[in-house]
Chain A
Amino acid sequence: MLPRARKVQKVPFVELYAGRLQGVVSSGSDEERVYVSYFEAGTGNFYCSTNNNRPCGGLRGSPCKHLIELINEGVLQYGPARVIAYLGLQQAEPDKVKTGAELVRFIKGGPHKVEAGMVFSRFLTYLQYVSVAPTGVPLPDMAWFVR
């Protein structure tokens, strides 16, 4: 048996990047639609829209269900300590946090629009990695990466 990472079915992509916890969340109702969501470190601002920049209907001053799913998966992937430190949520105690949803009350910002394309293009970059052909050539520099 090997350790198992989080499932990507609902939230195919989440990352801590450029001062944001950001990612892509599948729509619960429409298989073809995805939402692009983010929380910003420091300001605590957040936003959620479709990848065509249509605002999410659930976003009324507080994080919508997509944002909650995003932060839940973010905590699964990176652990509470890293998410708390990255977002600068000084009041939260990493040892007591079990799910990302518990962190939402420490987020002080409000909805603040960013272009979905910025995050979505990161998702495409991410997917590019699983599209590169595997190789049997020696990669001696991988000796540097121990895990």
Chain B
Amino acid sequence: MPLTDLKSVPEPVVQTAELIGHLDEVFESGFGRLSSANLQTLASLAASFAGTPLAEPLDAAIAGLGRSEFVDRHFAVIAGARAAAHGAMHDALVAQASAALGRPRAELEALANTPGQAAPPRAAVLLESVRQWLMELAIAGFANLEVGALLPFQATLDAIMAEPALVRHAALLSGFLDELLTVFPAHGKPEVPRLRWVDLWTRSMVLSLAPPAPAATREVKGELRVFATDLRQHDHVVSLVAFGALHEAGKPARVVRTSVSAFKVDVLQGDDLAGLLNEVGGKLLEAIAGGQGLKISGMLLHATGDLVWQEARAEVLPAKLKLAEEAAAVLTSPTALRPSARPEDRHPAVVEELVWLPGDGYAAVGKEARELSLGGQPFPVAFERWPSSDDLVAADIAGSKGLVALLRFDGGRWSLQPVMIDKGKPVPRMVGTGLQAGRGKAKGGNLATLKERAGKLLRKKS
């Protein structure tokens, strides 16, 4: 498994990143005052889409923006083009990684459209408000934002949070607004993380183009064995993502991904997260902490290999599993049906290819393990992704008997993010194993205090 083949990055990926970098300069200074250099950048963007379905709309949008026609459809096209460029980078990187790992590229499972509830009419109006706000940000430019342009969006966001069909939007937009408000109002020249903010802007715009349509899913029945986890959070949302092997009768075992998420506020951390997640995924937490399997029946699986977690359809099984063996078995030569991203969500930042490294295949380099030595060749560790909890730490790598990592592409290079480390103990090291213990402790903590206040005050208000 020559992961070390991933030292170089395909040339088209590098060139596309450069093109996007120039486009992002326009977002920093703003579409409201396009310089001749900005117009040239937009023209070269249009040129690189020549012969694609986006060519004509892009020409029209750029011409319109050049005439200061500030309408959301022009910005939607720019967002679409930028997302498409990142999608192409994603696909090229996944192809490179799959070749290096000697496995087929992940595919979306072919599923028949399932009838589901369409988003309520209100969703369309809220998303129009989102596009309007995003357009204002782009016209002003990220370097020139005024806090007065940011604060009114909170009211729209409140309404989005109250609409269950828009939960994805609420999670993304609350995180984006948090980051903008961390920098603004700025004293002097603001520090703008340009690439990141334009990425979040683009994601928000693409996600807000139309109300979410019901996704194609199928019901699954079988046993889920979670062998790796990742905790993702910003001030207002926490999401525990679990990767596991799904055993269905008459089918080869495959890798799936599931998640439980909760809205929160900044002071809710540590044990309080257990209290938040317990409500929606108590059985999942229990199985993770105990190294046990889950019998599931009638849960919905998306084409991307994402399982919609439903507590009522899960049952924790008593047997303790050998999760390292489980991971090794399903990850050594995985099928094409494994977690992936929908075309509109693709971006190098969402590449997460699961790999199993046997204990004799790697060694930690240095005390901090900023690199792994793979058969003598150094390979970067995604150091910034170690969780802040101590149920998975860099020191666990030394003397371990095997590990599961997510192969990631960030900052222009490949790296490995360990998400499960086998220390030869019954339960492997992974994020979330400590949360189970926190479920009881959370009583009387910050969560309970704030919930009590919310119960009193929000009732009074309405």
Residues of chain A having any CB pair with chain B under 8 Å: 1-9, 12, 16-19, 41, 77, 85, 88, 123-147
Contact = CB atoms under 8 A, between A and B. Distances in A.
Given A141-B171, A142-B171, A5 B458 contact: no
B308 interface: yes
Given A125-B158, A134-B280, 17 more contacts: A1-B390, A1-B434, A3-B270, A124-B458, A128-B161, A129-B236, A129-B265, A130-B268, A134-B260, A136-B261, A137-B168, A138-B257, A139-B168, A140-B345, A142-B233, A142-B261, A143-B350
A7 B446 contact: yes
B310 A136 contact: yes
Given A8-B450, A143-B352, A146-B232, A137 B167 contact: yes
Contacts of A2: 269-271, 273, 388-391, 434-435, 438
Contacts of B111: none
A130 B268 CA distance: 9
A41 B185 contact: yes
Contact of A18 (B151, B171, B391): B151
Interface string B438-451: 10000000110111
Given A130-B447, A135-B167, A147-B388, A18 B259 contact: no
B434 A134 contact: no
B264 A139 contact: no
Interface string B290-311: 0000000000001010101111
Nearest to A131: B454
B446 A5 contact: yes
Nearest to B431: A2
A19 B185 contact: yes
A104 to B, nearest CB: 20
A140 B259 CA distance: 9
B209 to A, nearest CB: 14
Contact of B271 (A4, A19, A124, A140): A4
10 contacts: A3-B269, A130-B268, A130-B451, A131-B454, A134-B280, A135-B262, A140-B350, A142-B232, A142-B239, A143-B232
Contacts of B203: 141, 144
